[in-house]
Copies of this chain bind each other. A is one copy, B any other.
Amino acid sequence: MSLTHFDETGAARMVDVAAKPVTQRTAVAEATVRCQPATLDLILAGDGKKGDVRQVARIAGIQAAKNTGSLIPLCHPLPLDGVTVDFTSQPPDRLTVTAAVTCTGRTGVEMEALCAASVAALTVYDMVKAVDRGMTIEAVRLLRKTGGRSGDWRRPADGGAADQS
């Protein structure tokens, strides 16, 4: 078993995708922030005059998706078609960021979705760290993807090795 990101001598490379067809691609990823219950209340109270952590984090996530080609060394720069970043809460102590990315291109957008979810979650951390420095971002993971030669993929419902948390 070998990794396509390296050639036979072990040199890293940005894999040549010139021969791959241009197809529609989608990917959805999530990141969960675990925090103190009072912190979650504070985040969810953000609709009013207190300022909404989620709106700032959403913009950071969208920008990160577009910036993936420079964040992740062997990723291809891609002209993304769309990015959404949404939040759901699992009281008393979890906030989940879900990022969805679409593209018409020669390679998938899993990394774009994962970067968007991660950076949105890090931005949440940044904005509330003064009151809850011990917050953890957990379960940054791909939920599903469509398009491309490797076809569609969906995270198994039972979790599997990477899904037990």
Q: Which residues of A contact B (CB under 8 A)?
A: 1-18, 24, 34-38, 42, 46, 48-53, 55-56, 58-60, 62-67, 69-86, 93, 102-106, 110-111, 114-115, 118-119, 121-123, 125-142, 145, 150, 153, 155-156, 160-163, 165
Contact = CB atoms under 8 A, between A and B. Distances in A.
25 contacts: A3-B42, A3-B131, A5-B51, A7-B84, A11-B58, A11-B85, A13-B84, A14-B83, A17-B82, A18-B102, A18-B104, A34-B165, A59-B59, A63-B63, A66-B69, A74-B123, A76-B81, A111-B122, A111-B125, A122-B140, A136-B162, A137-B140, A137-B141, A138-B139, A138-B140
Contacts of A6: 50-51
B86 A11 contact: yes
Nearest to A156: B134
Given A12-B56, A52-B10, A62-B13, A161 B141 contact: no
